Structure 1
Amino acid sequence: MLSDFNFKTFYSTATDNIPENFYSLALKSSTKYDRVSGYFSSVSLAYYAKGIEHLLVNSGKFRLIISHEISEKDYEQIVAGYKNRNKSILTELESRIDFSLLTNSQKKNLSNLSYLIEIGLVDIKIGFTHTGLFHAKYGMFKDDFGNIVYFSGSLNETEAAFTKNYEDITVISSWQSNEQELLDKSNYFEKLWREENNDGMIFVKSIDEVIKSKLISFSQGKVIMEKNIFEDNAIVLYFDNGLRIVNNLKSPLDLKQRSMKQIIRKGFSDERVEKFKDDLSYVDIKEIIKLFERYSGRTGEKLIVTDNVYQFINDSEFKIDSVAKRGLAIKNQDQIFDASLTEFVNIVNSEVTRPLYKIQSWVSFYQATMQRVANFSVPGSGKTSMVYGTFAYLSSSQINKIDKLVVIGPKNSFLAWKTEFKSVFGNKREMTVLDVHDEKFREEMFFKNINDYNLFLVNYESLEKYKEALNNVVDSRTMLVFDEVHKIKRVDSSRASISIDISKKTKYKYVLTGTPIPNTYQDTWNFLHILFENEFKEYFGIQLSALKNPDDFTIANFIKKLSPFFWRVTKAELNVPKENDDHIISVTANQIEQQIINLLWKKFSNQPFKLYIRLIQLSSNPQLLKDKISIDMYGDYGIEEEQEFVLSDDTPFYDKDELALIDSITSSAKFNECIKLAEHLINDSKVIVIWCIFIDTINQMKQALERKGIRVAVIYGGIGARQREETIVAFQNGEFDVLITNPHTLAESVSLHKIAHDAIYLEYSFNLTHMLQSRDRIHRLGLPENQETNYYYFMTEGQEGKRGTIDRKIYSRLLAKKDIMYEAIESELIKPEFTIDDKAEILQMMEEEI
């Protein structure tokens, strides 16, 4: 809204850029612009074209009353409808506006004014007095919230007023001055506009519809920014939200020429080379220009490539080789960047209330300087804060490169982005967020007053639904972030394709993940195309198939190419205190549990995947053995596109005796021991997290702890976004003693380390990434030097000499894989964390046991 901006009281053409600093700023939130001007020229619109664009987006209206050199009597004769008079006026108009005799600049300005009248954005009426000209000069901007910005002074609505004359204006706002006086001014304009003024001094009349129709006939159907498109006997390539062509030759293009055939064959244009593709890259456009230059050389036809085409190329071109050298120098913290870093830190500190750590400042500076890079810092290192440091700098008044941050990531990350914004900026910036999971969100919000928001949050699952909306939001002044980008590692996925397309609209784009290569080097394909879609082929020079099982030489060359474009901060660099050794709590199966263990090994010995799931269930929640294995067990588990192997099975068959045996046990020994430990830790004034897999186990544990008077919070996928966020905040504020959740829902993007330092693992699967990320919820940057962090793992063991569950086997395999993973994620280089497919490894493990 208008009241969000700080307008000066006085503006002067000698010291201020009035079109940009006042007009465009006010029009950004306006839905009405009412103007009375002694003189007007259509070229003046170009000086605040961005503001006009905002008025279009806001479905606004520009009403203009101007002076005109005709008498009231003459005008009355026109509107009276004398046929001969109308004809003579039209003849005079045509003689004065002979389009063929106008200069290219005049053609452009007339076309633009005509177009804005045609679409209803601009409406013009004529004001005059009995004698002389109507010289009043004032204007009003209005928004949908009743705010008014009024200005008056010597300024006319002409190019000369903006660029040559000395002019000044005085500005008054309704929220800072006498609102009634401005309402009176507004009402007076309405009287003038409705032609109801009866003071006998000023008369306002509408333009005759016949004349208006003639004016509209000069419209080109859009705003024209380049005068050269009217050049006679020439082929003109210009840029207007994409490459455009105007053929001003007296004949069509010769499509038999090889250059034209290549343009068509490569899919750059339609089959007649009359319309180019909308999503051409700067690389494509450079090639098209070369082909047209070849065509011009062979045919002798004149070719004009307008300045805004070359400006687009220059703005878009990423000189990747030189940028790579810069990236390595910054990562090495070369002293040549000391002055730039100091300036960066000073600007950031003026924008935020919580300064960055030194290493975070380097990474944030690196991101701002490089414009498109990856942040592979380990979980818990403060990647979100680093991004906000970059955002603070780029959106500061001194730099002013961007004005909004669009984050695409898991919905679990939304709360962190919102809370970190407030923690980082404090009272220096107000967060205005569009969150697609907020209960007040409506899709039309993507298309109305989008400039009111500085933070947009969209989850990966919503990309297909909001693809068009994001294309409307993301532009050259957007900072685009893909959080937990490994979520879209599958090369053929629609989400990855949409992400790559959206990323083409801005040069400030960043990908974040602590696990960049979960399985193979192919996992880098999508995020590298998000960052370097146009440069990938030339710079990296590698095919997708070559990244599946690359040899050592290929790996070394690939990492060398990649190294300048990612930064990885390790926990060691941040001095995060080391966690304690894991606490292993073994629970021996009781007699009934042992019988069920034996039953499961016998019943499912030829079905290793089913046996794997059923043994995990028995260990913690035996009643689940009677249910079918389904995604529903996990609670909204199937949402993620890049999910681990999940077994689905029909309801199992048990005979009468087997069912009686299962029904004879209501809770497992491990479950009961977990309750005892939780109660002990809570009595010791500790706040804890309990990790499970299955929803039913979460709810059973909740009920058991609540019966003991313990305050319990639960979160799983089926819980709505708002309730989830409210629960997390309440837990972080100490309103609960324990949080029970599962890694499928809460393993990423949530910080619990300021309240909880003890985590219990009642259930855990073979997914190492989930296990490590869940551990990082309580072991992160910001822990005091002497803070202890404890993890407790429960395991059901078989009786001596008898079969057991697979808890210990899973843990042992996870421990071995954890060492490999930590070696990878704590290294400054990147490599696959582990290469064995979970499903194959589960099969191998179970077959060894069977």
Structure 2
Amino acid sequence: MLRIDYRESDRRACLSWDADDERADWLDALRRLVFDRSEDASQEDAWRISLPWWGFAALRPHLFQIFGGYGLAPGRDIVVSDAASALLRQSRRAVDSHEAAKNALAVPEGDLRARLREIGFGRELSPEQARNVGRIAALPAAATFSVPGAGKTTEALACFFYRARPEEDLLVVAPKNAFAAWDEQIADCMPGVDDVFVRLRGGRDKIARALDDEPRFMLISYQQLARVPDLLAAHCARRRVHVFLDESHRIKSGSGKMTARAALNLSHLPVGKLIMSGTPMPQSTEDLVPQFQFLYPEIPATADNVVELIRPVYVRTNKAELGLPPVTRQMARLSMAPMQAELYKLMKFEVAREAATALSIPSRQAFRSLGRSVARLLQFVSNPSLLSSEIGFAHPDLLAAVLAEGDGPKLKYVLKRARALAREGRKVLVWSSFVRNVEYISARLSDLGAVFIHGGVDAGDEEDDETREGKIKLFHDDPNTRVMVANPAAAGEGVSLHRVCHHALYLDRTFNAAHYLQSEDRIHRFGLPPDQDTTIEIVECMDSVDETVRERLGYKIGQMAEALEDSSLKPDPIALDPTDIEDADEYSTGLAREDIDVLLRDFAGVRR
């Protein structure tokens, strides 16, 4: 007999059977299904396996096929505990609600605005926001994929206050740099509410004490959630909580990573769910799968069907609807310095060998190692001196010759261009994906008051010039601070510079489309006057990995535009100037398997 139970202590489904069932054909089929489909399944003893409840819920259709195929009948061959039965009924309702979403009627705009006025909502929603909130407020689980600056936070709060009962709470999972925006928005949106967001941080004991006070509004970072998933799950189980994931593409890795697994393990507990991202699929449609699983864990989703599954439950305001003036993108294509080009050829062949190995013998370790090698190649093209600190570099004599050539051509161009723009009275934003580049450029442009932001810059008081907020304030308010240098991984979210800066220089880019799109949006977002020119200037070395990055970013952005039916996402063609311009700590490069295929093709000199 098969027994199905829900273990509340760790939110797992437990499947157990009798010793007499060991030779049953259905048991082999059950084991294969569970272990093939769940990365977090566990054989707990000889007659028991377990897996996260959300993962079990997603297997329901396949389990029913096994039960039917082998003639297993409830009550006779299968026993389901009361706790599991209640959750299975909840799962059935969720499946039905997703099906109903295809034809669900949005909350009428007049009713929505009247209700928000009645409860004291202080913001007047734009027509696009009212359309979006009316749609997501009609659903128990939904997504808003509006572009940065369109007011996703306002939409989320309007949805919560429209739907929530007085005894219901809100838990927001967000990057730390978005916390201030939630504080500001709730004060503006609900000025009559005395409660503020309680920040869940400071370690396990402090978070537990904060939850004991039963705050109505809670903020926690993705990193902190991964450390205390049991505390948050227990809280959501005993309280009525809405859970919103801000920048939800942070869970795109799925159950294989602690952060995503912690969020997914909450998925069957909230009374309402919302995911929020302007770049929900930075790599491919597979990025949408974990996000949809958070919303509807009961419905099996794959890269092949997730776009159709999520379409009925998401809303989006695009840049065209915001009336933003178009962005101008320019390309500066440079030749590598002679010795730099020679060393690049050797490094390229070494990376190609490593890439071929990673594809033929795939493993997580091989992929990570390749990611580091590709990052090093990107670093070398942007600034050869970044390799000078490497111990045991394979070609020390050639590297010495490269360093004797001085700053690489891209770095020379960016420094010269930033100075020229500053002389014209403009403020300039310089992007590099590498921390040492960020600090080096800032130091070289210190006479222009340059400030920098990367992951090592702490958040804090804006009156402190050494904090993230302090540096942003200097760039906004101090006329002598002409340049900001930033890392897209650290400053691609939660930073608005569009009121003072209209020209960005990219020393380098990676394969991470989310980082690139979000970094662009720092200076090209809602609030720009219709006649404002915004210029994005991208610096590349010809015949280098830079060209592969450009191709792959274009492909990924195009895929997202197609999935979201948003033509405003498609990158504008960049006119390439064939004229050579002579004086012109590792993090994720966003590398995917398809990127490796194209990289190998380009290294072999075969371009489409």
TM-score (norm. length: structure 2)? 0.70
Matching of residue 480 in structure 1 with residue 218 in structure 2:
no
Q: 1:659 to 1:371 in 2, by over 3 A?
A: closer
More deviation, 764-773/518-527: 518-527
Q: 1:701 aligns with which of 424, 441, 453?
A: 441
Q: Report the Cα distance in structure 2 between the residues aligned to 1:679 and 1:578, rounded to whole angstroms.
A: 25
CA contact (8 A) 1:373 1:510 kept: yes
Q: Deviations over 1:496-530 (max 9, x none)?
A: 33222223222111122234344555444323332
**Secondary structure class of the residue paired with 2:231:** helix
Partner of 1:570: 318
CA contact (8 A) 2:451 2:475 kept: no
Matching of residue 374 in structure 1 with residue 143 in structure 2:
yes
Q: Report the Cα distance in structure 1 between the residues aligned to 2:351 and 2:73, rounded to whole angstroms.
A: 65
Matching of residue 848 in structure 1 with residue 586 in structure 2:
no
How far residue 690 of structure 1 moved from its aligned partner, in angstroms, is 0.7
Q: Deviations over 1:123-180 (max 9, x none)?
A: xxxxxxxxxxxxxxxxxxxxxxxxxxxxxxxxxxxxxxxxxxxxxxxxxxxxxxxxxx
CA contact (8 A) 1:377 1:567 kept: yes
Q: Report the Cα distance in structure 2 between the residues aligned to 1:356 and 1:659, rounded to whole angstroms.
A: 58
Matching of residue 675 in structure 1 with residue 423 in structure 2:
no
Partner of 1:623: 385
Q: Report the Cα distance in structure 1 between the residues aligned to 2:568 and 2:540, rounded to whole angstroms.
A: 35
Percent identity for Structure 1 against Structure 2: 24
**How do residues 134-533 of structure 1 correspond to structure 2 at under 5 angstroms?**
318=93, 320-321=95-96, 324-326=99-101, 328-330=103-105, 337-347=108-118, 350-352=120-122, 354-395=123-164, 399-400=165-166, 402-403=168-169, 405-425=170-190, 427-430=191-194, 432-436=196-200, 441-450=202-211, 451=213, 453-475=215-237, 476-493=239-256, 494-519=258-283, 521-533=285-297
How far residue 329 of structure 1 moved from its aligned partner, in angstroms, is 4.0
Partner of 1:53: none
Q: Report the Cα distance in structure 1 between the residues aligned to 2:269 and 2:555, rounded to whole angstroms.
A: 43
**Secondary structure class of the residue paired with 1:392:** helix
**Secondary structure class of the residue paired with 1:373:** strand
**Secondary structure class of the residue paired with 1:463:** helix
Q: Report the Cα distance in structure 1 between the residues aligned to 2:269 and 2:553, rounded to whole angstroms.
A: 42
CA contact (8 A) 1:754 1:783 kept: yes
How far residue 323 of structure 1 moved from its aligned partner, in angstroms, is 5.9
Partner of 2:457: 719
Bigger radius of gyration among the two = 1
Q: Extract unaligned runs of 5+ from structure 2.
A: 1-5, 10-17, 35-43, 46-50, 65-71, 77-81, 356-369, 461-465, 571-589
Q: 1:811 aligns with which of 527, 532, 550?
A: 550
Q: Report the Cα distance in structure 2 between the residues aligned to 1:561 and 1:573, rounded to whole angstroms.
A: 24
Partner of 2:538: 793
Partner of 1:594: 338
**Secondary structure class of the residue paired with 2:138:** helix
The letter of the residue matching 1:703 is: A
Partner of 1:605: 349
**Secondary structure class of the residue paired with 1:464:** helix
Quote the RMSD (CA, aligned, Å): 4.5
Q: Report the Cα distance in structure 1 between the residues aligned to 2:90 and 2:396, rounded to whole angstroms.
A: 72
How far residue 771 of structure 1 moved from its aligned partner, in angstroms, is 1.7
Q: Extract unaligned runs of 5+ from structure 1.
A: 1-238, 243-254, 272-276, 296-304, 537-541, 629-649, 798-803
Q: 1:436 to 1:672 in 2, by over 3 A?
A: farther
How far residue 704 of structure 1 moved from its aligned partner, in angstroms, is 1.1
Q: 1:652 aligns with which of 393, 399, 418?
A: 393
Q: 1:701 to 1:502 in 2, by over 3 A?
A: same
The letter of the residue matching 2:452 is: V
CA contact (8 A) 2:283 2:513 kept: no
How far residue 311 of structure 1 moved from its aligned partner, in angstroms, is 10
The letter of the residue matching 1:351 is: F
How far residue 361 of structure 1 moved from its aligned partner, in angstroms, is 1.9
Q: 1:699 to 1:519 in 2, by over 3 A?
A: closer
CA contact (8 A) 2:327 2:524 kept: yes
CA contact (8 A) 1:692 1:741 kept: yes
Q: Report the Cα distance in structure 1 between the residues aligned to 2:307 and 2:402, rounded to whole angstroms.
A: 54
Q: Report the Cα distance in structure 1 between the residues aligned to 2:255 and 2:88, rounded to whole angstroms.
A: 29
Q: Deviations over 1:766-803 (max 9, x none)?
A: 33332222112222223222222110112345xxxxxx
Higher RCO structure, 1 or 2 (CA under 8 Å, sep 6+): 2
The letter of the residue matching 1:844 is: R
Q: 1:465 to 1:681 in 2, by over 3 A?
A: same
How far residue 612 of structure 1 moved from its aligned partner, in angstroms, is 5.8
How far residue 760 of structure 1 moved from its aligned partner, in angstroms, is 0.8
Q: 1:685 to 1:418 in 2, by over 3 A?
A: farther
Q: Deviations over 1:603-653 (max 9, x none)?
A: 65354379865654344322123333xxxxxxxxxxxxxxxxxxxxx7413
How far residue 756 of structure 1 moved from its aligned partner, in angstroms, is 2.4
Partner of 2:404: 664
